[in-house]
Chains A and B, each alone.
Chain A
Amino acid sequence: MRADEDVAAGVPEPAVVLRVEGLTKSFLGTTVLRDVDLTVRAGEVHGLVGENGAGKSTLMKVLAGVHQPDSGTVRIEGREVHFTHPVQAQRAGISTVFQEFNLLPDRTVAENLSLGREPRRRGLVDTRQMVEDAARLLADLGVEGLDPRRVTRSLSVAEQQVVEIAKAVGQDARLISMDEPTAALAEHEVSLLYSIIARIRARGVAILYVSHRLKEVFDLCGRITVLKDGERVVTAAAAELDEQSLVRHMVGRPLTTFFPDPAPGTTPGEPRLTLQDAGNGYVDGITLQVRRGEIVGLAGLQGSGRTELVEAVFGAEPFTRGQMELDGAPVRVTTPRQAIRHRIALVTEDRKATGLALQQSLLDNALGVVRASFPRRTAAARDAMPGTLSSLAVSARSLAQEVQYLSGGNQQKVVLARWLAIRPRVVLLDEPTRGIDVGAKHAVYELMRGLAAEGVAVLMVSSELPEVLGMADRILVMRDGRLAGELTGAATEEEVLAVATGADTHEGAA
Chain B
Amino acid sequence: MTGALRLPRGVPLTSTGIVYLVLLLVVLLSTVLTASAGRNFFSPGNLSAVLTGMSVLGFIAIGQTLVILAGSLDLSVPYVTSLCSLVAGTAMAGQTSNVVLGVVVALGTASVIGLVNGLVVAVLDVHGFIATLGMGLIISGYLASNYQGSAGSAPRAFRLWGATHIGPVPLSTLVMLGCAALVIVLLRRTRMGHHLYAVGGNREVARMSGVQTVPPVVVAHVLCSLLSGVAGLLLLARLSVGSPTIGSQGGYDLMSIAAVVLGGTVLGGGKGNVLGTLGGVAIFAVLDNVMSVMAVNPFLKDVVRGLVIIVAVAVYARRSTGGRPARFERPSVTDAALQEAR
Binding site for B on A (CB under 8 A): 86-87, 90-91, 98, 102-107, 111, 115-118, 120, 123-125, 127, 153-154, 167, 279-284, 305, 308, 320, 480-481
Contacts and interface: CB of A to CB of B under 8 A. Distances in A.
Nearest to A88: B210
Given A98-B208, A104-B206, A116-B209, 9 more contacts: A102-B205, A102-B209, A104-B205, A107-B198, A153-B342, A154-B342, A167-B209, A280-B328, A281-B327
Contacts of A103: 205
Contacts of B190: 123-125
A115 B189 contact: no
A480 B185 CA distance: 44
A86 B207 contact: yes
Scoring A86, A116, A305 by chain B CB atoms within 10 A of each residue's CB, the highest score goes to: A116
Contact of A284 (B188, B193, B194, B327): B327
A99 to B, nearest CB: 13
B69 to A, nearest CB: 10
A91 B328 CA distance: 49
A120 B191 contact: yes
Given A104-B198, A107-B201, A481 B209 contact: no
A415 to B, nearest CB: 22
A98 B190 CA distance: 28
A89 to B, nearest CB: 10
Given A86-B208, A103-B205, A116-B210, A282 B327 contact: yes
Given A104-B198, A104-B270, A281 B331 contact: yes
B208 A102 contact: yes
Contact of A480 (B211, B266, B327): B327
Nearest to A281: B326
B208 A111 contact: no
B59 interface: no
B328 A481 contact: yes
Contact of A125 (B194, B210, B327, B328): B194
11 contacts: A87-B207, A102-B205, A104-B197, A106-B197, A111-B194, A115-B210, A116-B198, A118-B191, A118-B194, A125-B193, A281-B327
Contacts of A86: 207-208, 210
A115 B328 contact: no
B261 to A, nearest CB: 15
A106 B271 contact: yes
A115 B198 contact: yes
B195 to A, nearest CB: 8
B271 A280 contact: no
Contacts of A90: 210
Interface in B238-285: 266, 270-271
A117 B328 CA distance: 43
Contacts of A279: 328
B327 A305 contact: yes
Nearest to B211: A116
Contacts of B342: 153-154
Q: Which A-B residue pairs are the 9 nearest by beta carbons?
A: A281-B326, A116-B210, A106-B271, A124-B189, A104-B201, A115-B209, A87-B210, A116-B209, A284-B328
Nearest to B210: A116
B329 interface: yes
A281 B329 CA distance: 5
A104 B71 CA distance: 13
Nearest to A154: B342
B317 to A, nearest CB: 16
Contacts of B188: 125, 127
B202 interface: yes
A111 B198 CA distance: 9
Nearest to B331: A281
Nearest to B197: A107
Contacts of B209: 102, 115-116, 167
Contacts of A91: 210
Interface string B205-232: 1111111000000000000000000000
B324 interface: yes
A98 to B, nearest CB: 8
Nearest to A113: B209
Nearest to A480: B327
A86 B208 CA distance: 6
A39 B244 CA distance: 68
A105 B202 CA distance: 9
B324 A106 contact: no
Contacts of B197: 104, 106-107, 111
A283 B324 CA distance: 12
A115 B207 contact: no
B210 A105 contact: no
Contact of A280 (B185, B210, B211, B329): B329
Interface string B324-339: 1011110100000000
B187 to A, nearest CB: 10
B50 to A, nearest CB: 32
A11 B191 CA distance: 44
A181 to B, nearest CB: 16
Contacts of A127: 188-189
A283 B210 contact: no
A105 B201 CA distance: 8
Nearest to B327: A481
Contacts of A117: 210
